[in-house]
Amino acid sequence: MKRNNIHRNVLSYNLWMNACAEVSGVDSVQSVFQVMLNDETVKVGWSTYCTLANIFRKNGLNTEAQACLVKAEAKLSPTGRLGYSFVMTCYAALNDSDGVMRMWEASKSVPGRILTAYYMAAMSCSIKVGDISQAECIFGKWEAGCRKHDVRVSNVLLGAYVRNRWIEKAERLHLHMLEKGACPNYKTWEILMEGYVQSRQMDKAVGCMKKGLSLLKSCHWRPPVELMEAIGKHFEEQGSADDAYRYIKVL
């Protein structure tokens, strides 16, 4: 870009810093950042400080990462919600639950309707820092104002329940969404399938697999290898040759 007299922008600086982090380490990143600070044609904003925070975190420099996120917060726009979601995600990566909730609460002051994607991000970040009850609260607020019940949102919570081996809670949430008219997608069935395999409810796991495979006309989903192996072993133990044959044929 320099050789061809192409002006750098915020994105190119961020990409440059990421590349330097991969190749040369943190010192070279800081050198590039200094060049950016001296470049009067660009304005350092929240995205650059998030980039730096992620680089520092990946190199074990969590204190420096936290300092960058404080600066990122100061650069957030009162009229745009995107930056809040990015900074919140960075705090989640640092396992900073206070930072996650501060960003979520601050984002509510931005004018306009909160999009489903932002609710999902807030739920995911809460779960990442171990606060599932907060994720449930956010889900409840989304549900109270949603125009339709979107399983992409409930899948976030469903996955957390299954990872914690709370299959009963997962079932209750799934049934609740069905009652509200939601349409399960392949991910819903994959999550439930995993939960049933964990709890050794293999017939239910097979049922979820079949429902997931029935959606193959609209996607190219296949169950994860470990779940496929568990189902295959189940057929073998049951001596169900016909089911095993159909299973192998489909997969």
CA-to-CA dists, residue 231 to 176, 225, 228, 244, angstroms: 27, 10, 5, 9
202: confidence class by pLDDT, cuts 50, 70, 90: confident
- Where is average pLDDT lowest: 31-40, 44-53, 78-87, 241-250? 241-250
25: left (phi over 0), alpha (psi -120 to 50) or beta: left
* pLDDT tens, residue by residue, 211-237: 888 887 656 667 777 777 777 777 667
Domain 148-251 in CATH 1.25.40.10? The answer is: yes
Read off the pLDDT of each residue in 20-31 and give the average, rounded to a whole number: 91
Please say if the pLDDT value at position 201 is more than 80. Answer: yes
210: confidence class by pLDDT, cuts 50, 70, 90: confident
7: confidence class by pLDDT, cuts 50, 70, 90: confident
* pLDDT tens, residue by residue, 48-70: 999 999 999 999 999 999 999 99
pLDDT on residue 14: 95
Name the pTM for this structure. 0.85
Instruction: Tell me how far apart the alpha carbons of residues 44 and 148 are, in angstroms, rounded to a whole number.
Output: 39
* pLDDT tens, residue by residue, 95-129: 999 999 999 999 999 999 999 999 999 999 999 99
pLDDT on residue 171: 97
95: left (phi over 0), alpha (psi -120 to 50) or beta: left
pLDDT on residue 69: 98
Read off the pLDDT of each residue in 136-152 and give the average, rounded to a whole number: 95
